[in-house]
Chains A and B, each alone.
Chain A
Amino acid sequence: MTFLTSKAESNAKPASETAGGFRFADYLQRFGTLGIFLVLVVVASLWSDAFLTKINILNVLRQVASGAGIMAVGMLFVILTRGIDLSVGSIAALGSVLTGYFCTISGFGIAMTTFLVILSGAACGLVTGAFVAYLRLPSFVMSLAMMAVARGLSLIISDGRPITLGDQGAAFTNFGSGHWFGMPQPVILMFAVFIVGGIVLNFTRFGRVITAIGSNEEAVRLSGIAVPRYVLAVYVISGALAAVAGIISSSRTGVGSSQVGVAAELNVIAAVVIGGASLMGGRGGVINTLLGALVMGIIANIMNLAGVPGYHQQVYMGAIIVVAMLLQYGSGSLKT
Chain B
Amino acid sequence: MTELAKLVAISKSFGGVRALVEADFDVKAGEVHALLGENGAGKSTLMRVLSGEMIPNDGEIHLGGERVELRDPRDARARGIAVIHQELALAPDLSVAENIFLGELPGVIGWKDLNRRARQLIERLGFDIDPKRIVGSLAVAHQQIVEIAKALSRDVRIIVFDEPTAVLSTQDAERLHEIIKGLRANGVGVVYISHRLEEVFRISDRVTVMKDGQVVGTVATRDVTIDKVIRMMVGRSLAAMFPDKGERKIGAVRLEASKLNAGRMVRDVSFSLRAGEVVGLGGLVGSGRTEVARAIFGADPLDSGTILLDGKPLHARSPRDAVKAGIGLVPEDRKQHGVVLDKPIRINVTMARLAEVVNGLGFLKSAKESGLVGDLARSLKLKAESIDAPVSSLSGGNQQKVVLAKWFHAGGDVIILDEPTRGVDVGAKSEIYGLVNKLAEANKAVLVISSEHQELFGLCDRVLVMGEGELRGELRPESYSEENLLSMAMTGRLTETHEGMPS
B40 contacts the other chain (Cβ, under 8 Å)?
A: yes
B14-64 contacts to A, CB under 8 A, are 14-19, 40, 48, 53-57
Contact of B343 among A5, A17, A204, A212 (CB under 8 A): A212
Knowing A204-B364, A226-B318, the reply to whether A12 touches B386 (Cβ < 8 A) is yes
**Bound form: Cα–Cα A158–B331 in Å:** 55
Cβ of B38 to closest chain A Cβ, rounded Å: 11
Contact with A along B381-395 (1 / 0, CB 8 A): 111111111101100
Secondary structure of the A contact surface, majority rule = loop
- Asked whether, in the complex, the Cβ of B54 is within 8 Å of the Cβ of A14, the reply is no
- Asked whether, in the complex, the Cβ of A8 is within 8 Å of the Cβ of B370, the reply is yes
B369-415 contacts to A, CB under 8 A, are 370-371, 373-374, 377-378, 381-390, 392-393, 406, 410
Across-interface contacts of B18 in A (CB, < 8 A): 1
**Bound form: Cα–Cα A209–B53 in Å:** 32
Knowing A11-B389, A219-B336, the reply to whether A204 touches B341 (Cβ < 8 A) is no
- Asked whether, in the complex, the Cβ of B385 is within 8 Å of the Cβ of A11, the reply is yes
- Asked whether, in the complex, the Cβ of A215 is within 8 Å of the Cβ of B340, the reply is yes
Across-interface contacts of A283 in B (CB, < 8 A): 342
Across-interface contacts of B347 in A (CB, < 8 A): 208, 212
Across-interface contacts of A218 in B (CB, < 8 A): 336-337
A18-26, A137-145, A162-170, A174-182: which lies at the interface? A18-26
- Asked whether, in the complex, the Cβ of A205 is within 8 Å of the Cβ of B55, the reply is no
- Contact size class for A? 35 or more
Across-interface contacts of A216 in B (CB, < 8 A): 336, 339-341
Across-interface contacts of B57 in A (CB, < 8 A): 20-21
- Asked whether, in the complex, the Cβ of B386 is within 8 Å of the Cβ of A4, the reply is yes
A211 contacts the other chain (Cβ, under 8 Å)?
A: yes
- Asked whether, in the complex, the Cβ of A224 is within 8 Å of the Cβ of B386, the reply is no
Cβ of B343 to closest chain A Cβ, rounded Å: 6
Knowing A3-B381, A205-B364, the reply to whether A11 touches B16 (Cβ < 8 A) is yes
Contact with A along B339-356 (1 / 0, CB 8 A): 111111001000110100
A106 contacts the other chain (Cβ, under 8 Å)?
A: no
B322-330, B485-493, B494-502: which lies at the interface? B322-330
B427 contacts the other chain (Cβ, under 8 Å)?
A: no
Secondary structure of the B contact surface, majority rule = mixed
Nearest-neighbor residue (CB-CB) of A226 within chain B: B320
Contact of A20 among B55, B324, B377 (CB under 8 A): B55
**Bound form: Cα–Cα A93–B381 in Å:** 57
A54 contacts the other chain (Cβ, under 8 Å)?
A: no
Contact of B374 among A4, A203, A225, A226 (CB under 8 A): A4
- Asked whether, in the complex, the Cβ of B390 is within 8 Å of the Cβ of A3, the reply is no
**Bound form: Cα–Cα A216–B340 in Å:** 5
Nearest-neighbor residue (CB-CB) of B321 within chain A: A224
- Asked whether, in the complex, the Cβ of B339 is within 8 Å of the Cβ of A221, the reply is no
- Asked whether, in the complex, the Cβ of B362 is within 8 Å of the Cβ of A204, the reply is yes
- Asked whether, in the complex, the Cβ of B378 is within 8 Å of the Cβ of A8, the reply is no
B299 contacts the other chain (Cβ, under 8 Å)?
A: yes
Knowing A222-B319, A224-B322, the reply to whether A211 touches B362 (Cβ < 8 A) is no
Cβ of B361 to closest chain A Cβ, rounded Å: 8
B72 contacts the other chain (Cβ, under 8 Å)?
A: yes
- Asked whether, in the complex, the Cβ of A203 is within 8 Å of the Cβ of B386, the reply is no
**Bound form: Cα–Cα A212–B361 in Å:** 20
**Bound form: Cα–Cα A11–B345 in Å:** 13
- Asked whether, in the complex, the Cβ of A211 is within 8 Å of the Cβ of B343, the reply is yes
A239 contacts the other chain (Cβ, under 8 Å)?
A: no
Nearest-neighbor residue (CB-CB) of B370 within chain A: A6
- Asked whether, in the complex, the Cβ of A1 is within 8 Å of the Cβ of B383, the reply is yes
A206 contacts the other chain (Cβ, under 8 Å)?
A: yes
Cβ of A79 to closest chain B Cβ, rounded Å: 15
- Asked whether, in the complex, the Cβ of B377 is within 8 Å of the Cβ of A4, the reply is yes
Residues of A within 8 A of B (CB): 1, 3-15, 17-21, 203-206, 208-209, 211-212, 215-216, 218-226, 282-283, 335-336
Q: Lowest 4 A-B CB distances belong to which pairs?
A: A224-B323, A20-B55, A6-B374, A15-B392
